[in-house]
Amino acid sequence: MAGQLKEVRNRIKSVQSTQQITKAMKMVSAAKLRRAQDSITQMRPYAQKLQEMLSNIVSNIEGGATLALAEERAVEKVLLIVVTSDRGLCGGYNANLIKLAKSTVAEKYAAQQKKGNITIWNIGKKGYEGLSKAGFNTDATYKDIYLNLNFEAVQAAAQAAMRSFENKEFDAVEIIYSEFKNAATQVFTAEQFLPIPKVSQSVSKKKSDFIFEPAKEQLIAELMPKILNTQLYKAVLDGNASEHGARMTAMDKASENANELLKSLKISYNRARQAAITTELTEIVSGAAALQG
């Protein structure tokens, strides 16, 4: 009985220690989330408007002109840029992104995968580890971007993808990331990066009246890479905020579960103590009765 009490006491101490860790991690993630949320909230309207403008211009290009980064061709080689996190303990965040990458390949690029023509660039260590283990052709060049997250680091990845597309090393480039909504909600998204997507037919009929200064071709050539850099940076900022939101939610749930477990363990401990006291009293009474007899 004494051994059972000691075991329950040890379990209670262990759960309490774990709960302290989960509460601390929740507080850290909440602080990081505030900064990350501010960054993506300020960035998103700007990036979305630029992307909308770029797609509209590409859709309304005249005279059969072609733009290198908007050239649609038969898809033989595909690049996926998968944005995950460097660390775990954030619920199903990384697992869902890896699952989306796998399903995107299976549903859209199965033929290319059979030929070994799928390449994955990872931003974040967890995606690199998971997809490498799954047998995909992964590239670790940009996986450590989160160690020093800034626009220049993400721009390097975006420019490398653009060069590869222009050199026809890849015929399609997609970004797989988590769009941040709030701390408890992330939308896992596969978004076309290259060729630059055109707006839908219904929207493209409403031709936008842009006035170009200097010449349209010169302006587009200058703006297009910058807008694409911004698009990838927005995806990475979305992923950063999503990670901290997912971790904060996961640690909150873990703390709640620890509370429930502590309640259950304390009830078990009290029952064991009562049983031990009852047993001792019974032995004392029995011993006294034997002496009197």
Question: Annotated catalytic sites, by residue?
Answer: 90
Label each residue of 104-148 as H, E or C. HHHHHCHHHHHCCCEEEEEECHHHHHHHHHCCCEEECCCCCHHHH
Task: Look up residue 202 and give its two tokens.
Answer: 């219904």
Please state, in angstroms and rounded to a whole number, the distance separating the CA atoms of residues 19 and 16.
Answer: 5
Task: Look up residue 29 and give its two tokens.
Answer: 């993630």
Task: Look up residue 60 and give its two tokens.
Answer: 């309304």
- Give Cα separations from 243 to 75, 178, 228, 256 (angstroms): 32, 9, 23, 20
Q: Are 179 and 189 in contact (CB under 8 A)?
A: yes
**Neighbour count for residue 119 (Cβ, 10 Å):** 19
Task: Look up residue 273 and give its two tokens.
Answer: 């103590």
Please, which residues have CB within 8 angstroms of residue 217's CB and are 6 or more apart in sequence?
65
Which spans in the chain are helix H? Answer: 2-59, 93-108, 110-114, 125-133, 151-166, 201-204, 216-292
Q: Smallest Cα–Cα separation from 176: which of 106, 127, 243? A: 127
Does residue 12 sit in helix, strand or coil? helix
